[in-house]
Structure 1
Amino acid sequence: MLITEWVPDAYHDNENIVVRSATHADKEVLLQFEQDVIAAERPFDDTIKEGDINYYDIDAMINLPNIQLLVAELKGQLIASGYARIENASPYLKHRQYAYLGFMYVVPEHRGKGINKQIIGALQQWTLSMGVTELRLEVYEDNKPAIRAYEKLGFKALLLTMRKGS
């Protein structure tokens, strides 16, 4: 289903970038995006295993009703991805549910064009249509460019996770 089913023509831009729901036909490219995400995150986290690993169950992300996996497409090529997963919040929080955002990826030659902003905007529209207003995401503390990009979209730091290895 195209995002335009939620917000008519809101996520088409001048370059003909279309943000749409991912399909099983997109899986091969999404698996490559996933490996690119993992490669980008390894320098920030020495606890990530070496070799081929997976973060995501892409088939489930496409099928589950509490997850919206989106891709951005330009001239028939996938150039970006992102998802929102609706979760139940802790009972002591003001909101009953929140949407966790992840798998934010834009191919290098298309970075800096606002594509991630389009995907997050579309995901926010989807979460609002599901009655969820709280958005959360995780970003490595040392990933300053990503932090700045998310701050421009209105996100702010909430909690710092700390660890100690042996």
Structure 2
Amino acid sequence: MSVIIRKATLNDLPVLLEFEQGVIVAERPFDPTIKDGSIYYYDISELITNPNSEVFVAESHGDIVASGYAKIKTDRHYLKHAYQGYLGFMFVSETHRGKGLNKMIVDALLKWCKARNIYEIRLDVYEDNTPAIKAYEKVGFKKHMINMRLDIESFDLE
């Protein structure tokens, strides 16, 4: 399989908007707080054009088959680093999963961050999304903190 990893362009938006919906469909079972109906997570145009972010895609035989972005974010004042590279929008089309494309996208994003002197890299993943966690661990990520939630709407708090 011949794959090219490249920076996304605004011409890629139609496919990337479909990928975004694929991410949302994949994540809904893990998150009861996501609204019903049509939603969007990202401003993909802004991620492509902003100098502090980059979207990479994997292209195979002229078709975009995977995506991901890195965004430079100011981090909390009490941490050792001033900025972090935040990764998101990691998606591989169903017919291309298991071929190492996620790693290729992550490697390109990490290279992009490192070229900007950003060495602290973060991402969020649902605790029950075992395939995603395994994919991220495979490229070197480690679990760091757990985000917890509680819905108290039906609680009797007397």
Which of the five TM-score ranges fits, normalised by the shorter chain?
Answer: over 0.9
How many pairs align?
Answer: 152
Match of 1:29 in 2: 15
2:11 is the counterpart of 1:39: no
Match of 1:146 in 2: 132
Q: 2:6 aligns with which of 11, 20, 38?
A: 20
Listed as ranges, the gaps of 5+ residues in structure 2 are 154-158
Match of 2:58 in 1: 72
Which structure would you say has the larger Rg? 2
In 2, the alpha carbon distance for the partners of 1:47 and 1:157 equals 22
Match of 1:4 in 2: none
Note the C-alpha offset of 1:149.
Answer: 1.2
2:101 is the counterpart of 1:133: no
In 2, the alpha carbon distance for the partners of 1:29 and 1:43 equals 23
Match of 2:156 in 1: none
| Paired amino acid for 2:140 | G
Note the C-alpha offset of 1:58.
Answer: 1.1
In 2, the alpha carbon distance for the partners of 1:154 and 1:77 equals 28
Q: Normalized against structure 2, the TM-score is what? A: 0.94
2:60 is the counterpart of 1:82: no
| Paired amino acid for 1:157 | K
Q: Percent identity?
A: 53
2:144 is the counterpart of 1:158: yes
SS in 1 for 2:102: helix
In 2, the alpha carbon distance for the partners of 1:99 and 1:135 equals 5
Deviations 1:37-62 (A, max 9, x none): 00000000011011110001111011
Query: RMSD across aligned C-alpha pairs, in angstroms?
Result: 0.7
In 2, the alpha carbon distance for the partners of 1:110 and 1:79 equals 7
In 1, the alpha carbon distance for the partners of 2:118 and 2:132 equals 24
SS in 1 for 2:145: coil
| Paired amino acid for 1:19 | I
Note the C-alpha offset of 1:95.
Answer: 1.1
Listed as ranges, the gaps of 5+ residues in structure 1 are 1-14
Q: Normalized against structure 1, the TM-score is what? A: 0.90
In 1, the alpha carbon distance for the partners of 2:6 and 2:63 equals 12
Match of 1:57 in 2: 43
Deviations 1:97-152 (A, max 9, x none): 11000000000110011000000000000001011011100000001111111111
